[in-house]
Structure 1
């Protein structure tokens, strides 16, 4: 699997359409044929998945016991608002207004690639988040990655 990397700044046009940056488009060969899926993130941002990655997420959800309350609630909230994005003839995708309102996105966005998905942030919110970097990134790395044994590598 090829992972997505990079951050891209974009502007939405007055009709809430966004041009996928050329550098990102090169990393998404399935964009034209399969499209993408956009949905809410776990915080006030949006997430774009390739159709293949979204289907993997749905496959995981389909294995949950649908009779348990937490599972029902998680599936409901995780899939709430999921929308397919299909580029128009000019290569723009239309971002749903209700999802933009959820994330507080007004016009300028940052597309932040995160391994197998793309987070879509309001540009000002993303700047504030990145400015609030932990005092010791090394300590965070140790807590998150430091307990991996050599066999896992």
Structure 2
């Protein structure tokens, strides 16, 4: 998979081209520059060891984490295991999310967008308090 050209220099500067690819509960992949991943990894390791959701999150994100180095053309190799987890076959969507990318199967991404767009305003009533004053 090719990283978009506009991000390659930043990744090269920030992480010397070293990325980490892991899974997410939503059946898509997350791609972090190595320094950002190391921070996430430290937080995951500190989660309560006997809490079942913590164990599941650690098992998924830490267990599937794989290093991926950009080659000279800005490409990374995503393992078959990770591609299978996310259902990636041919068409994929790479979505920028601040300090990371999300890599979705195109059909799953389209279905997710349709679900988000179709939600009632009432479904957003449970947003965290920090987002109540967010102006978009």
Q: Over the residues paired in the alignment, what is the CA RMSD in angstroms?
A: 2.9
* 1:54 aligned onto 2:28: no
Cα deviation, 1:21-56, whole Å, max 9, x if unaligned, reads: 112325434466151100011111111111111111
Determine which structure has the larger strand proportion and give its number: 1
Once residues 106 and 118 of structure 2 are traced to their aligned partners in structure 1, the CA distance between those partners, rounded to angstroms, is 20
Q: Tell me, in whole angstroms, the C-alpha distance in 2 between the residues paired with 1:129 and 1:74.
A: 21
**In structure 1, distance between residues paired with 2:75 and 2:25:** 25
SS in 1 for 2:11: coil
TM superposition score normalised by structure 1 = 0.70
Which of 25, 47, 50 is residue 42 of structure 1 equivalent to?
25
TM-score normalised to the size of structure 2? 0.78
Find the partner of 1:134 among 118, 121, 134. Answer: 118
Q: 1:122 aligns with which of 105, 109, 121?
A: 105
Once residues 47 and 76 of structure 1 are traced to their aligned partners in structure 2, the CA distance between those partners, rounded to angstroms, is 15
Structure number with the bigger relative contact order (C-alpha 8 A, sep ≥ 6) is 1
Q: For structure 1, list consecutive stretches of 5 or more residues without a partner in the other structure.
A: 1-17
Distance 1:134 1:115, change over 3 A: farther
Deviation at 1:59, TM superposition (A): 1.2
Identify, as 1 or 2, the structure richer in helix: 2
Question: Which among 80, 83, 89 is matched to residue 72 of structure 2?
Answer: 89
Picking from 69, 79, 91, the partner of 1:108 is 91
Q: Give yes or no for contact 1:30–1:50 (8 Å, CA) kept in 2.
A: no
Contact kept in structure 1, 2:17 and 2:70, CA below 8 Å: no
Alignment partner, residue 25 of structure 1: 8
Number of positions where the alignment pairs a residue of Structure 1 with one of Structure 2: 133
| Per-residue deviation, 1:65 | 4.3
User: Counterpart of 1:93 in 2: which secondary structure?
Assistant: coil
